[in-house]
Amino acid sequence: MISLKQSVSVVVWCGLFATGGKASAALLLTIGNAAILPGGTGFVDVTVASDNPSGDKVAFTSFEFRITSAGATRLEFINPQTDSGTGLSNYIFFGNSVATLFPPLGNVSTKSAPSDTLIGGDSTNNGADVTIAGPTLMARLDLSAATALPPANGDHFTIQLVPSLDTGFLDSQLNPVRYSPEGASGTVTIGVPEPASWALSLLALATLPLVRRRRVE
C-alpha cells in the first residue's frame, strides 16, 4: 500500500517533470554546523530563505541528506528521527504539516554506510502555499556518535543535501521552486571543550562571588 507521504512524493515529482523543471525564483539552503561529544547525540538545522524580495511560495518539500566521513569512523542519523523541529514556530509548515499527522518526517536508510541517509519530506496539510522570506527551518536532523565505529575527538563529518530525485520544492500548483546550492552541506565535529575553554569557564565562576560582593558594597 502506498502511504500518504509516498503519494505526495509521486505528485511532487510528476509535477516537476510536467513543468520541465523551470521556476522563477530560488530558495537559499543552509545546513548548520554542529559539535557533538564522543558517544553523544546532537542535531543540525537545515534552513531555507528566499532571494526574492517578495518571498517564495512553497507547499511541498522533499529531501535526501547524506553523511560522509573521510575516515573509518561513523556518525549516523538517529533512527527513528524525533521530528522535534516540526514543533518549532519557525518550522516551514508549523501548525499545518502533514508530517505531524503522519510521522516521521524522514526515513533513515543505508547507502554507503549504516544509517547514513535520510529521505523524507513534508507538505501543508491544507494544500495551500506558505511564503518563505527570511531564514525558515526546513528540517532538524538528529545525529548519533554512539555507533559501532564510534568517532573520536577531532573527527569531522559532512552532512550534505543530495540533489537527487528525492530533493525538491513545489508550490501548490506543482510548479518547481529552484533551490541553491544543490549540494548544500554542513560540518559536524566530534569534540569536547578545549582546556582553555574550561579554564575560562572556571575563572568566570570563581569571580561571580567577588562581583556580587562589590555590587552589595
Residue 6 binned pLDDT confidence (cut-offs 50, 70, 90): very low
Give the ranges where the chain is alpha helix by DSSP (H).
Answer: 4-18, 98-101, 195-216
One-letter amino acid of 104: P
Q: Which pLDDT score is estimated for 216?
A: 52
Phi-psi domain of 174 (left: phi exceeds 0; alpha: psi -120 through 50; beta: other): left
pLDDT > 80? residue 192: no
Query: 49 by DSSP, 3-state: which?
Result: strand
Query: 30 by DSSP, 3-state: which?
Result: strand
> In this structure, what C-alpha cell is assigned to residue 75?
556518525
Residue identified by cell 509535477 is 15
Percent of the chain with pLDDT over 70: 77
Residue 8 binned pLDDT confidence (cut-offs 50, 70, 90): very low
pLDDT > 70? residue 191: yes
Q: Which pLDDT score is estimated for 34?
A: 97
Residue 99 binned pLDDT confidence (cut-offs 50, 70, 90): very high
Q: Which pLDDT score is estimated for 70?
A: 82
Task: Please give the Cα distance from 184 to 161 (Å, whole number).
Answer: 5
> Which positions ≥6 away from 161 have C-beta within 8 Å?
29, 31, 46, 63, 64, 65, 167, 182, 183, 184, 185
- φ/ψ (deg, to 5) at 150: -65, 135
From the options 2.60.40.680, 3.40.50.410, 2.102.10.10, 1.10.1200.10, give the CATH code of 4-189. Answer: 2.60.40.680
Contact (Cβ atoms closer than 8 angstroms) between residue 145 and residue 151: yes
Contact (Cβ atoms closer than 8 angstroms) between residue 105 and residue 82: no
Q: What confidence tens digit (pLDDT) does each residue in 132-182 have? A: 999 999 999 999 999 999 999 999 999 999 999 999 999 999 999 999 999
pLDDT > 70? residue 77: yes
Q: What confidence tens digit (pLDDT) does each residue in 102-133 have? A: 999 999 999 999 999 999 999 999 999 999 99
When pLDDT is averaged across residues 42-65 and rounded to a whole number, the result is: 97
Q: Where are the beta strands (DSSP E) in 78-135?
A: 106-109, 117-123, 130-132
When pLDDT is averaged across residues 46-52 and rounded to a whole number, the result is: 96
Task: Please give the Cα distance from 90 to 137 (Å, whole number).
Answer: 6
Residue 11 binned pLDDT confidence (cut-offs 50, 70, 90): very low
Task: Please give the Cα distance from 203 to 81 (Å, whole number).
Answer: 38
CB atoms within 10 A of CB 84: 12
In 3D space, the residue among 127, 140, 16, 160 whose CA is nearest the CA of residue 82 turns out to be: 140
**What global pTM score does this model have?**
0.80
